[in-house]
């Protein structure tokens, strides 16, 4: 492995810093392999989706000689602006973190055919064929959500569990569908209360709304809530802590955020997907098209660690592992909606 060398293009950084750019340490080199990442709503530091993508970028930067620059959009229009500025600056790979980048990725990748692009959670259209320079990274979130649903169904003492999504869109519906299916697989009598924070991207960045929705559900007898809401979920976890109930984290392992009150987390390995697509480009084997990550590909999982080891019994772990094996073997059909 070569040691990390973090480089920066001075001109592009001057143009991006005012728009929310974060960059690596400058160097005089011009031949380095360069990767740019544009974050989704909530930005770096959301302790969830964006941070998972960023971990993948940092990990490959630790393994190879890669320059990296990050851009945090302030407004919706900044997504395409950020992508274009990075493309104009000659970055080799540009990552858009989130389905909201899908249309901008289509447009910018067409204008810069020599630049390789990847979009996490790309919103593919029916029968769409992606160009050679655009990779869509998609996940079977419903599979990981099924597993944490099994945990909730078996752990709940009230027989009532909840789901809180961020933006009310098909992507988040997959988390909801898998969770409900898993909970009912484990306990057919369980009831599931569902709520969404909103219908705009801001629904992923509103912890106060997340806490409000969670307090309502806990007040109605729900004792475990699974959130799929990005930064909004911080409020859900805080509500669990305040009321003495449980939350289930998402995307990153959030067990540590409220020890004793985060039952587990549905870990979406965006870091693995980002690492893999950058490595493919670095090794000149990048291919456009969809790349899908589920349980079989280590794209989703559930988190067990010191923070929740005392919360989940061996019997529950055995039931979850059995469900995992059944899904991978295609013996359990997990709904997507």
The residue to which tokens 């869509």 are assigned: 136
pLDDT tens digits along 35-48? 999 998 778 888 88
Is the domain spanning 10-139+270-293 CATH 3.40.50.720? The answer is no
Q: How far apart are CA 334 and CA 337, in angstroms?
A: 9
- pLDDT per residue as tens, the chain (337 positions): 433 333 333 333 333 433 444 444 333 345 789 999 999 877 888 888 899 999 999 999 999 989 999 988 765 557 899 999 999 999 999 999 999 999 999 999 999 999 999 999 999 999 999 999 999 999 999 999 999 999 999 999 999 999 999 999 999 999 999 999 999 999 999 999 999 999 999 999 999 999 999 999 999 999 999 999 999 999 999 999 999 999 999 999 999 999 999 999 999 999 999 999 999 999 999 999 999 999 999 999 999 999 999 999 999 999 999 999 999 999 999 999 9
Q: Do domains 10-139+270-293 and 141-268+304-328 have the same CATH topology?
A: yes
The CATH fold assigned to 141-268+304-328 is Rossmann fold (3.40.50)
Residues 6 or more apart in contact with residue 333 via CB below 8 angstroms? none
Residue 42's pLDDT is what?
Answer: 77
Residue 75's pLDDT is what?
Answer: 58
Residue 74's pLDDT is what?
Answer: 66
Q: How far apart are CA 178 and CA 168, in angstroms?
A: 15
Q: Is the dihedral of CA 271, 275, 276, 281 positive or negative?
A: positive
Full-model pTM: 0.86
Query: If we measure between CA atoms, which residue out of 231, 268, 267, 265 comes closest to residue 247?
Result: 265
Residue ranges of domains in the chain: 10-139+270-293, 141-268+304-328
Residue 48's pLDDT is what?
Answer: 87
Q: Which string of b and e fits 297-321 if b means at least 16 CB within 10 Å?
A: bebbbbbbeebbeebbeeebbebbe
Residue 122's pLDDT is what?
Answer: 97
pLDDT tens digits along 266-284? 999 999 999 999 999 999 9
């Amino acid at each position: 492995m070569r040691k990390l060398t973090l480089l920066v293009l001075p001109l592009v950084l001057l143009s991006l810093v005012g728009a929310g750019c974060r960059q690596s340490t400058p160097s005089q080199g011009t031949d380095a392999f360069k990767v740019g990442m544009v974050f989704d709503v909530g930005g770096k530091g959301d302790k969830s989706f964006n941070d998972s993508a960023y971990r993948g970028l940092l990990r490959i930067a630790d393994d190879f000689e890669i320059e990296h620059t990050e851009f945090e959009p302030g407004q919706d229009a900044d997504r395409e602006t950020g992508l274009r500025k990075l493309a104009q600056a000659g970055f080799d790979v540009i990552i858009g973190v989130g389905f909201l980048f899908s249309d901008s990725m289509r447009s910018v990748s067409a204008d810069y055919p020599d630049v390789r692009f990847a979009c996490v959670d790309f919103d593919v259209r029916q029968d769409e064929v992606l160009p050679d320079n655009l990779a869509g990274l998609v996940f079977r979130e419903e599979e990981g959500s099924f597993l944490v649903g099994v945990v909730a169904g078996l752990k709940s003492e009230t027989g009532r569990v909840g789901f809180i999504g961020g933006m009310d869109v098909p992507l988040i519906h997959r988390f909801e569908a898998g969770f409900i299916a898993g909970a009912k697989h484990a306990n057919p009598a369980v009831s599931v209360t569902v709520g969404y924070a909103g219908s705009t991207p801001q629904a992923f960045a509103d912890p106060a709304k997340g806490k409000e929705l969670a307090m309502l559900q806990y007040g109605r007898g729900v004792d475990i809530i699974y959130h799929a809401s990005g930064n909004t979920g911080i409020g859900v976890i805080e509500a669990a802590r305040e009321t003495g109930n449980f939350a289930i984290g998402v995307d990153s392992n959030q067990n540590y955020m409220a020890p004793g009150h985060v039952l587990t987390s549905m870990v979406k390995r965006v870091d693995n997907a980002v690492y893999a697509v950058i490595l493919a480009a670095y090794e000149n084997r990048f291919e456009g098209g969809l790349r899908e990550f589920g349980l079989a590909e280590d794209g989703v999982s559930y988190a067990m660690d010191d923070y929740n080891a005392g919360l989940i019994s061996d019997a529950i772990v055995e039931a979850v592992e059995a469900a995992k094996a059944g899904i991978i073997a295609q013996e359990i059909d997990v709904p997507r909606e």
